[in-house]
Amino acid sequence: MTGSPRPPTASSHREARKIAVASFVGTSIEWYDFFLYGAAAALVFGPQFFPSDNALASQLAALSTFTVGFIARPLGGIIAGHLGDRVLGRKQMLVVSLLVMGGATVLVGLLPNYAQIGIAAPVLLVLLRLAQGLGVGAEWGGAALMAVEHAPEGRRGLYGAAPQLGVPAGAIAANLVMLGASTMTAEAFAQWGWRLGFLASVVLIGVGYVIRRRVSESPLFEEERRKPEQREGAAPVRSVPLVEVLRHHPLGVVRAMFATAASTGLGYIVLVYTLSYGTTELSYSRDALLTVVTLASGVQLAAILGWSALSDRLGRRRVFIGGGLAQIVLALLFFPMFDTESLAWAMAACTLAVIVVSAQYGPLSALLSELFPTRVRYSGISTGYQLGNVIGGGLAPIVATALFAAQGGSFAVGLYLAGMALLATLAVLLTPETSARDLRRV
């Protein structure tokens, strides 16, 4: 396939690499914003915005605001899908999503806490979290499509890894900021230190804006827009992309949803839940866990690239199903390893988890893009991916916290993660191999 003729609309290798870098940088900024909030929710938002005599209730309330962002993500994906498929295109939606997400993050850094303005503080925090959810919901679909639709023949898995790399890169940046801020006194960190990372986002917004304004639009989207029925003077296309997706490609949405849920579920357990669980229920220090998660995220960068490139050679299904089976086993081993309260075992558990997760998460951009035609691809992948994130990523930290409290241990949490991995594996097992498909003829 690698030597097959290039379609006339395909980007040059140089342009494809430029787009991939732009997708990586943009999504890294957005995920920095998202994970910074997650780390703050796990470490400081409880006493800052939800003070309570019951530490567990305060922690659950803070983590619930993290979940609120996930609930908003499908709506952001639906809105962006419609605009990206019918109105603005992929490129312009990426600029809009960056501004929405980044603006909300800066405002969180400026938000007074409960002691200063009372109940208005948590209410405004939730509203800003909703805005973050809308922004990141709009972000992923556009970034994935820009990378995949510009990719050279036979390299969609590798180039589609660009937006996936933004997750560990954003987590690394967010955790390094929190580590830096935590070197100050506990009082200074609680009063204003945690805000610095949120305010720094204003610089990142400027960098991301400049980069995204300079890239070219997706060639497949431009080709779709040039079709006779799309030209000026032709009868207008009145169909709503989401309606068209649900009517003609419902199985694609279901497959995308379950394929996404498992990898994001275990991923957010490692990147978010462990920070709260390890410091409140176990004897780990905050800085030690931030360091463990940061190092594991560095490993994930390499793992995503490796598994994504392998999916171009072996096919999406083989890589994904292999990762899913490994994740079922790892889900049952993760907490017994982590609960030893040994940093070495915690590092091993988190490292193994991100390697396994990456076999599913790395090829996901290409796999989901190959399920839908260009005409509704933004809407299709955004809807499936964001619904999967609600089920897996958004609920995972709060479900894990509740299961631990109900059972008094972490075994039920492992079963929950293994169950999601099983559903994801079955979903892809029932999906035909997609890596050889021509995206123009899906």
Assign residue 134 the CATH number of its domain: 1.20.1250.20
Q: How far apart are CA 222 and CA 418, in angstroms?
A: 42
Structure tokens at 422: 């099983």
Q: What is the mean pLDDT of residues 136-141?
A: 83
Residue 70 placed within a domain: yes
Residue 411 placed within a domain: yes
Q: How far apart are CA 38 and CA 171, in angstroms?
A: 10
CB proximity list for 384: less than 8 A, separation 6 or greater: 252, 253, 254, 255, 256, 257, 259, 260, 368, 371
**Pure H helices in 44-119:** 45-49, 55-82, 89-110, 114-117
- The packing angle between helices 411-429 and 316-338, to 10°, is 180
pLDDT at 347 over 90: yes
> Higher confidence at residue 233 or residue 216?
216
Q: What is the mean pLDDT of residues 143-149?
A: 89
Number of structural domains the chain divides into: 1
pLDDT of 218-239, one tens digit each? 788 787 777 655 544 443 455 7
Residue 233 placed within a domain: no
Q: How many residues does the chain have?
A: 442
pLDDT of residue 326: 95
CB proximity list for 56: less than 8 A, separation 6 or greater: 401, 405
Residue 250 placed within a domain: yes
Residue 226 placed within a domain: no
Cβ neighbours, 10 Å, residue 229: 9
pLDDT at 400 over 70: yes
Task: Read off the pLDDT band of 3 (50, 70, 90).
Answer: very low
Residue 234 placed within a domain: no
- Residue 326: enclosing H or E segment and its boundaries? helix 316-338
Residue 235 placed within a domain: no
Task: Read off the pLDDT band of 6 (50, 70, 90).
Answer: very low
pLDDT of residue 335: 93
The DSSP secondary-structure symbol of 182 reads T
Least confident piece of the model among 26-30, 59-63, 170-174, 215-219: 59-63
Does this model's pTM top 0.85? My answer is no
Structure tokens at 167: 């997750």
Domain span at residue 159?
Answer: 13-219+241-431
